[in-house]
Structure 1
Amino acid sequence: MVHLDALIERHVSCGRSLVAILHAIQDDAGYVPPGCIAPLAKALNLSRAEVHGVLTYYH
C-alpha cells in the first residue's frame, strides 16, 4: 500500500483528475484495490462514496 500512497500523492500533486488517478492505479496494480479508496478520497478532499461512485460507474 505504501507504493499506492506514493502514486496517489504524485498524481494529486500534479493536479490530475480522479479518473486519471484511478487509471494510473489500475495500470500500476492491474486493478483498483479497495484499500486505496480512503487515501484517495482524503487526498482529493472527496468522500469515500464519491470515489467509490466514480470507480464503479466507469468500471
Structure 2
Amino acid sequence: MLGENHHVQAIRLSHRWQLDYGRSLCHYYGLYGYEQRFKSLFFLQKASVSIVSQQF
C-alpha cells in the first residue's frame, strides 16, 4: 500500500515538474495557445492518475 502511494506521489511530482517546465518553455517562446493545449493535456493526465490511484 505504501509503495503504491509513493509511486502515485512520484507521478504527481513528475507531472508538476512537466507543467512548470512546459509553462516556462511556452512563456519563453510566447506561445499562449500551446500553453493552453499543454494544460488541458496535463489535466487529462492528472484525471487518469487520480482514477488509477483510487483503484488501489
TM-score tier after normalising by the smaller chain length: 0.3 to 0.5
Q: Which has the higher helix share?
A: 2
Q: Highest CA radius of gyration, 1 or 2?
A: 2
TM, length-normalised to structure 2: 0.40
TM, length-normalised to structure 1: 0.39
Higher relative contact order (CA 8 A, sep 6+): 2
